[in-house]
Amino acid sequence: MTYPILSARAKAREGWNGFIIVGLGNPGPRYARNRHNVGFRCLRELAARHGIPLDRREKNARVGRGVICEQPVLLALPQTFMNESGRAVAALARFYHVEPERLLVVYDDLDLPPGALRLRPGGGSGGHKGMRSITQHLGSEAFPRLRIGIGRPPGRMDPADYVLQDFSAGEIPLIEEALERAVLAIETWLSEGIERAMDRYNQRPPAEEAP
């Protein structure tokens, strides 16, 4: 699938043979430590590790351009709030003329235990409203995604309330370690391809591994 070029400015991007990596979350300090914002946190750690400032605004996103593992990358944090993430992601993909296999989205997943990672080359939204928005605006599900487990809400708690809470004290070490592994998974995806990254990082979190 090839995204249409929307403007004369976009034509200048055709020679940019790079990758777009998107972290999903809600903008603003109120949401910064929420479970729903692990995608934002992962992208910020990746950016800091490689000295890429996320100090520009493009297409309803905060972005930074740089090089990771010898690959040109655009890192993006949509500023549209989670449920409208697709507006920013599709606009960036079209503007930079990036093919779906060069677009990676990082986000939280209720169906994975805290700290687990799952990298996949494509698939459905799994009920995640940010991913649903992206697939609708792109018109495709055939793009890589990296899910970071946040676990299910306890008892009868509404999942919508749960994802907007901060992590518990017991979850924090698992999530911090998961974010470190997520950054390594992204670097492996860029340098060695998705199959190698999946083989290496689609594992249970350390607390769940057999002794």
User: Of 36, 97, 128, 137, which is the active-site residue?
Assistant: 36
pLDDT higher than threshold 80 for residue 203 = no
Pick the closest to residue 113 from 211, 35, 24 (CA basis).
35
Mean pLDDT for the chain overall = 87
Distance of alpha carbon 61 from alpha carbon 84, whole angstroms? 11
35 exposure class (CB count in 10 Å sphere: 0-12, 13-18, 19+): buried
Rounded mean pLDDT, 154-170: 89
Has residue 161 got a pLDDT over 60? yes
pTM: 0.86
Using CA atoms, how far apart are residues 83 and 18, in angstroms rounded to an integer? 26
Pick among 3.40.50.11540, 3.20.20.80, 3.40.50.720, 3.40.50.1470: CATH of 17-202 = 3.40.50.1470
Task: Label residue 12 by pLDDT band (50, 70, 90).
Answer: very low
36 is an active site residue: yes
Indicate the domain borders of the chain. 17-202
Given a contact cutoff of 8 angstroms between Cβ atoms, the answer to whether 36 and 175 are in contact is no
Report the pLDDT averaged over residues 91-113.
Answer: 92
Q: What is the pLDDT of residues 55-101, one digit of tens each?
A: 999 999 999 999 999 999 999 999 998 999 999 999 999 999 998 89
H or E element at residue 58: strand 56-58
Number of Cβ within 10 Å of residue 27's Cβ equals: 18
117 — pLDDT class (breaks 50, 70, 90): very high
Write down the pLDDT at residue 126.
74
Residue 204: the pLDDT is 58
